[in-house]
Structure 1
Amino acid sequence: MMIKLLLLFLVCWSALPLEASPLGKRYNLEIDGKKYYISLAKTNWFEASNHCRQNGGFLLNLESREELELLSPHLHPAYSYWLSINDLGERGAYVSEATGLEAPFLNWSAGEPDNSTGHDRCVELWLSTSSFQMNDLACYSPVAFICQLN
């Protein structure tokens, strides 16, 4: 009986996806010398940031439209993704948590940022019409995320 259980465990364990993480499935990629992983697990901004740091990186700090265009084909259109950008320090002053500096690139959706809930302090990347753009959202909302690895 013990051998059957051990065999069952090994079969189940070997069937797990290679790219599993504590927060679910993720996709590793490297583009222009930068390493990323995209997690489809939905969590709040703080947990996502902590998860990235525990894995040797930080939430994605988009630096340019070119970087966004290179990443976009790898993003699932049904998901939104946390970025490192927030205005937790001062409303309207969007800073990259990864660097502590003003966000180097902002690509807001039309009408954003709008602080629609009164608590929208973190920034997500979402599919707006036909391209991924930025939206302000409450930091405790469950959203997928992108880590940039050091």
Structure 2
Amino acid sequence: MITVKTQIAILVGILAIQTAEPVRSCEKGWILYDKKCYSFSKSPVSFLDAMSACYDLGAQLLEIRDRFEEKWVDLQCRLRGYTYGVWLGFSDIQIEGQFVSLTDARSVRYVNWMAGYPNNLNGGEHCAMYWWPHKGWNDSPCSMKINYACTKPIENNRTC
């Protein structure tokens, strides 16, 4: 015979399972880091093509928000053998020298420009990139072909 204490323990266990927080994860092929899912490209493309590829995935082009995320992205670039780094979702195409986020058009809060950058070399550098061999940001021609990373919020999934 099951005791009252055991019945209560079983009931509490069942309720805990039913009310537990859903397991947060990324869909297959995406990598979870700090409450966001990341997808890293397999080949280099222009800035516009990178933006379009992310949009097609229901995501946005990477916008680095702090030095911890930047260090993690740096590691991912090195592990993948990227030549330059990745596009960042920041541009100064509207007002030269004022880089803004592509998602909300606000000024970039965290920056890590390499010394002397952004420099708008020859008047044609309006897209930001993380240049991993130099551990900093660079402004580049938007037509340059480099790798990219897309980000999106984690999906909520229930598991048994």
Structure 1: gaps (5+ residues): 1-26
Number of the residue aligned with 1:82: 87
* SS state at 1:84 partner: strand
Question: Tell me, what secondary structure is at the counterpart of 1:123?
Answer: strand
The corresponding residue for 2:33 is 31
Deviation at 1:99, TM superposition (A): 2.0
- How far did 1:110 drift? 1.4
- Partners in 2 of 1:78 and 1:88 — Cα distance? 25
Out of 62, 65, 70, the residue aligned to residue 63 of structure 1 is 65
Aligned to 2:87, what secondary structure does the other structure show?
Answer: strand
TM-score (norm. length: structure 2): 0.71
CA distance in 2: counterparts of 1:70 and 1:140, whole angstroms: 26
Q: Deviations over 1:101-133 (max 9, x none)?
A: 11121101111111113200000111244xx31
Task: Find the counterpart in structure 2 of residue 96 from structure 1.
Answer: 101
Q: Residue in 1 aligned with 2:119? A: 114
**Equivalences, count:** 122
The answer to whether the aligner puts 1:144 opposite 2:120 as a matched pair is no
Where does residue 19 of structure 1 map in the other structure? none
Runs of 4+ aligned residues of structure 1 deviating over 6 Å after TM superposition are none
CA RMSD of aligned residues (A): 1.5
Whether the 8 Å CA contact 2:84–2:133 is kept in 1: the answer is no
Alignment partner, residue 130 of structure 2: 125
Once residues 39 and 107 of structure 2 are traced to their aligned partners in structure 1, the CA distance between those partners, rounded to angstroms, is: 23
* Runs of 5+ unmatched residues, structure 2: 1-28, 154-160
Query: What is the rounded CA distance, in whole Å, between the counterparts of 2:92 and 2:59 in structure 1?
Result: 20
* CA distance in 1 between partners of 2:72 and 2:147 (Å): 18
Q: Structure 1 or 2: larger helix share?
A: 2
Bigger relative contact order (CA 8 A; separation at least 6): 2
SS for the counterpart of 1:143 is coil
- Letter paired with 1:43: V
Residues 12-68 of structure 1: CA deviation (Å, up to 9, x unaligned):
xxxxxxxxxxxxxxx631111111111131111011001101101110011111211
Q: Does 1:48 find its partner at 2:50?
A: yes
The answer to whether the 8 Å contact 1:40/1:79 transfers is no
Normalization by structure 1: what TM-score? 0.75
Q: Distance in 2 between the 1:118 and 1:147 partners? A: 27
